[in-house]
Amino acid sequence: MSAPLVFPGKESFHFQRRVFHLIGGSLFPILSMVLEWETVFRLLLISSVLLVSSDTLRLHIIPLNTLVLQLGKMLLRSGEQYRLTGASYLLLGTLAAFVFFEQDIALLAVFFLAFGDPAAAVVGQRLGKGCFYGKSPFGTMAMVAVSLAVIATLHGVGAIEFKWIFVAGALIASFVELLPLPVNDNLTIPISAGALMVLLGG
C-alpha cells in the first residue's frame, strides 16, 4: 500500500498558491484589454470546459487523481483530492463574470478576486488572528485597499471610466471573502461584486 499523500502546511504552500491565483485570475481580464472580447471569451470558455472536465474526471479515476495530487500538491489544499480544485472555481467565476456582466464590471469583479483575495490571505495570516469565522479583519481591510487600487489603476490607464458603484463592488467583494459561505469564494466573489455593481446602476 502506498503512503498517504501529505499536503504541505499553510506556510509552505501559501506563496506558490497565492502567486498561481494572482496570475491565473488576472490572465483573462488582461487578455481582454488587448484582444477582442469575443476572442478572449472563446478562449476562456474552452479553457473552462477542459479544466473542469479533467478535474471532474480525475475525481473518478483513482490513479489519475493520485498523479495530479502528487504533481500539484504544492498548489492544492487538503480536501481537494475529493472535490474540484480552486483553479476550476477560479475559471468558473471568471466565466460567469464574462457571461453576465459588461466588460468594465466583469474586469473589476475578476480583478478584485485575483488581487484582493491573495492580499487578504497574506495580510490576514501575518497580522491578525482569525477572530471572524477563522479570518482576520486585517485581511479584509487589505482586500479593500488592493481592490480600490485596482479601480484607480484601471482608471488611470484608461481601461475604465470611474463610477462610484465600483467602490461598492470592492466593498462587497471583500465582505464576501470574509464570510464562511459553503460555495468556493473564487465563484462567489466575482458574482457577488458584479451583481451588486449591476444592481446599483452598472
Look at residue 1 and tell me whether its pLDDT is greater than 50.
no
Q: If you average pLDDT over every residue of the chain, what do you get?
A: 88
Q: What is the pLDDT of residues 5-33, one digit of tens each?
A: 544 444 444 678 888 889 999 999 999 99
Using alpha carbons only, give the angle 120, 122, 126 rounded to the nearest 5 degrees. 115
Average pLDDT, integer, range 167-182: 93
Q: Which residues contact residue 53 at a Cβ distance below 8 angstroms, ignoring those fewer than 6 apart?
A: none
At 132, is the secondary structure helix, strand, or coil? strand
Q: What is the pLDDT of residues 90-115, one digit of tens each?
A: 999 999 999 999 999 999 999 999 99
| Prediction pTM value | 0.88
pLDDT band at 79 (very low <50, low <70, confident <90, very high): confident
Give CA–CA dist 57/69, Å, rounded: 13
Supply 84's cell numbers. Answer: 474540484
pLDDT at 21: 86
pLDDT at 137: 85
Give CA–CA dist 29/143, Å, rounded: 18
Q: Which helix (H) or strand (E) holds 27?
A: helix 10-34
Q: Is 56 exposed, middle or buried (0-12, 13-18, 19+ CB in 10 A)?
A: exposed
Average pLDDT, integer, range 148-154: 97
